[in-house]
Structure 1
Amino acid sequence: MSMAGETTERAPATNESPLALTRRARRINRVLAEIYPDAHCELDFGSAFQLLCSVVLSAQTTDVRVNLTTPALFARYPAAEDMAAADPVELEQLIKPTGFYRNKAKSLLGLAAAVCDRFGGEVPRTLEELITLPGVGRKTANVVLGNAFGVPGITVDTHFGRLARRFGWTRQEDPVKVESEVGALFPRAEWTMLSHRLIFHGRRVCHSRRPACGACPVAPLCPSRGIGEQDLVKAEALLRPASAREAALLAAARKAVS
């Protein structure tokens, strides 16, 4: 879920009142909800433990690569008890395509052992307990809480942090501070879907190095709209919709605000 080569930008100063900022933030969220009605976690999983493992494997690689790797992994080790007893060499070979496989294998083995030893083989359902597991921080914990257990959480990955700053929702770089400041702008029930929408938009439109501002439906609401490609045709060439339906929804939303 993370990306290498993410650049740091100075977040724009919006000089808005707290009320105006909240209203603009929620308008952006509504537009993104129209564009990405099916926004979801793009990691495939069949249980909370499998999602936890997939998030670990997603470091420094793509969700697509992880999803190509995990079917064989989870067929061999479907639950924490199975993985805790895995042969390290065999585990390394199964996850090798995701990169950094030796370190990731150590992380998975330690994680599985902790889940078994301290939680009876069941992934805990609170953030406080999840972050006590080896290698699990707030981002990973919120992914599991929101997508495996239905507990609202904000997932501050590189996409989310980048867009939150570009939108002027926060000027913070620290993920915990970003989570706190952005969370204050939205009802708690929206947190998980907000995370999915920003991550979708970051992957498809608001890219790190060359955002497609000229083709972005939320550009009129974005204080950073001048940093990317402004020409409509060139901006459209930068879009990476995942389907024809998504492309049509992007185009319709852009026309609605133009």
Structure 2
Amino acid sequence: MTVRLHDGGTEVRELFLPAAGARIRWILLNPGARDAGPARVFVHGLGCSGASDFAEVATRAPLDGRMSVLVDLFGHGYSDRPADFGYRMREQADAVAAVLEHEGLRDTELIGHSMGGAVAIELAAARPDLIAKLVVAEPNLFPGGGFASSPIAAQDEEAFVAEGFARMLAGHKHPDSAARVRLTDPRGLHRSATAMVEGTDPSWGALLTDLDRPRAFVVGERTLPDPETELMAAAGVPVVEVPAATHNMMIDNPQGFADAVGRALGVAEAG
């Protein structure tokens, strides 16, 4: 299915994946620019969606002028919520790879934030034929989870689905954050959080440092000092800061995030 919006400037597409028994959906921004250069693929974080996190920044200079692919991971946004899906990062990465193959895309520029950064690392490591450059923004790098995933994973899955999810929404202090999370499947959210707490072997941090593709690490200025950022810099991964931003950097400072990703792509190329 393809839905065209804004005179063909935006398309919403979907693909049925037999392995998941479900349909994954994504937004194409500026599809008429398919031949203008490598497509940019954006992968959102836990409890978010492609549109909520990246629709604004992908259309700002210096990121405009290219076709952008805003993927909704399974259990998030407009994609299906398969009850039997594991929601592990490699499974999500395989689904994104299927989207890129369906679109006939190779040598893309892949940008992933938070959990989406871990998914992006998995994808770049497993399918280097699809990815020319990788930019990750405060990704999950090691087991243990983060400030959002750890409290979710600490709960029993059924209890979280029955009560914990609603309690979490009620406790959100920022309406825009609650609105994003509300679109997420509670079971998928819990399994995703659990997968991040459990991590992988080798870790996403090890996969990133060993990656044989140009890559860069984006961090919010207000996140610093940050041990994981220091570790990546020491390992030779270029680091770019987003001014006046926390972990939710594309929300805190959309133009700053667009500028930082643009610089990161340039630094990755130079590296």
Greater length-normalized contact order (CA 8 Å, ≥ 6 residues apart): 1
Task: Give me the TM-score of the superposition, normalised by structure 1.
Answer: 0.27
> Which structure has the larger Rg over C-alpha atoms?
1
Task: Give me the TM-score of the superposition, normalised by structure 2.
Answer: 0.26
